[in-house]
Structure 1
């Protein structure tokens, strides 16, 4: 557990899953994507089967294959964390066990999407308990965006989850600075060794200033060198250099994650990779339509500001 926690430091890229025009996974392009991102100096690991990886529309067999390809094509010392995302706790536990068997070093437990509409705290505890009991690898929590309805965990519930020793880290994606700091301070009080990864792509600089062990972010699958440069500058306390990197990243984060309509980040991530010549097909599984002309124009401009084009 400790070795896993130590290896979580720094930047970990949340990767996408390339599709062919018929929406089947393009394994050749996926292998190239995983290898290219993971081999970038300063990228210490990968988060696969996350939201950027369309985990809610992949079958279990496809998610297992993603882990296998990450294990096969990433550097030997690359930390592979796989997301677990299912509405059913029983199926989530089955999925978690299968992804561990496929080669994941650790598992990140996403809240079921239905929780955005409301849920009892005991439902959350029960869901995580099923996954815990089905696995042996280190487990991670996910702090959902503050605007995601009832999905985020209130401090009292977060405290109950953090108390479970099988959980050793959290991908803190509250996407709101005050909530991020509140959660960070609570976790440090309860379990100082618990790893907090500031992973709101739009406010990485702020989370690094407040305190963070690193990040699992999908920006790092598009402009990994720039994200690493931000982290390195922050770690060195060079806030002028960190601010300069943030200024390059910020327009891209806005174009991918903030600009309306919501829920379009994976479409825009794939569009960026295609604009950069790193992806031949930017198809995303339905119901998401392709990137619009307006989205492409905004992304291209942001990529130029980031120095990627």
Structure 2
């Protein structure tokens, strides 16, 4: 069946790589390296789409023009049938709506609405509803929700708020990044009770295996921009119900997930993803926009060890 006949929800099944944005040493976007990164990841067998302008793509430190450029390059360099979803992330709802409309015009097939970082400190539920409504009114593309990690404070949507959000029929899927197994299952069951067709993507890189056992339509994950073949092999094994093979893939992936996402200090995933790509010879410069400092010696050692276990180095 051609991608033209399949719904957005159908096309979300399987593995979608959340990509990074290569920078020059003076923190400008390196278009040539970005094009090469997008093309290489998207053309890996079993990668069904890309999530661009996500957290791994430093969406909170890019200008709107830069985010549009990322979408345009993805459209140009990814295979024609590759699903391109762009993140929308802005503290201002008015700017988020303007950004969403611009990213849709640039060629995004769908839009993933991230909660503004300020919500971690607390917010009224009506703020969240208004933010999503303004983005919906400015766009016509399929829309996705983002379930933030439970460790991100009030940014994570409690069940009553999640219930209100999924009542909006323009929203058809969720990148479920609760990063905690019990909450993932609670949200999955709530969503499927209310809207059985709603696409839930288990997308906590550290517990993909568990998500697949509990139930998931696939994942949008940044691990898949470093070791796409391994993430695809985990998904394919899980989809086939071959849990022994899935477990073997998980054993190879687990140390890398820990080295990138869990090891202290937190919030260093993008730095470490870029460091991995440089260690693998796929990136010449691993610069990340300030205030993030470059990867430290102990981080590089842990990443190199984990990449060897994953069979990537």
| TM-score of the pair, normalised by structure 1 | 1.00
Q: Secondary structure at the match of 1:80?
A: strand
Asked if 1:216 corresponds to 2:220, the answer is: yes
CA distance in 2, matches of 1:262, 1:117: 17
Q: Secondary structure at the match of 1:44?
A: strand
Specify the alignment match of 1:149 in structure 2.
Answer: 153
- Out of 273, 283, 294, the residue aligned to residue 269 of structure 1 is 273
Structure 2 unaligned residues grouped into runs of 5+: none
Specify the alignment match of 2:32 in structure 1.
Answer: 28
| TM-score of the pair, normalised by structure 2 | 0.98
Specify the alignment match of 2:13 in structure 1.
Answer: 9
Asked if 1:179 corresponds to 2:191, the answer is: no
Specify the alignment match of 1:205 in structure 2.
Answer: 209
Asked if 1:119 corresponds to 2:123, the answer is: yes
CA distance in 1, matches of 2:249, 2:8: 28
Specify the alignment match of 1:303 in structure 2.
Answer: 307
CA distance in 2, matches of 1:135, 1:2: 21
CA distance in 2, matches of 1:269, 1:105: 25
Shift of 1:229: 0.1
Q: What are the equivalent positions in structure 2 for 1:1-309 lying under 5 Å apart?
A: 3-309=7-313
CA distance in 2, matches of 1:135, 1:191: 22
Alpha-carbon deviations, 1:133-173, whole Å to 9, x = none?
00000000000000101100000000000000000000000
Q: Secondary structure at the match of 1:248?
A: helix
Deviation beyond 2 Å, 4+ runs, structure 1: none
CA distance in 2, matches of 1:65, 1:290: 24
Shift of 1:2: 6.7
Alpha-carbon deviations, 1:62-95, whole Å to 9, x = none?
0000000000000000000000000000000000
Shift of 1:255: 0.2
Aligned length: 309
CA distance in 1, matches of 2:6, 2:189: 21
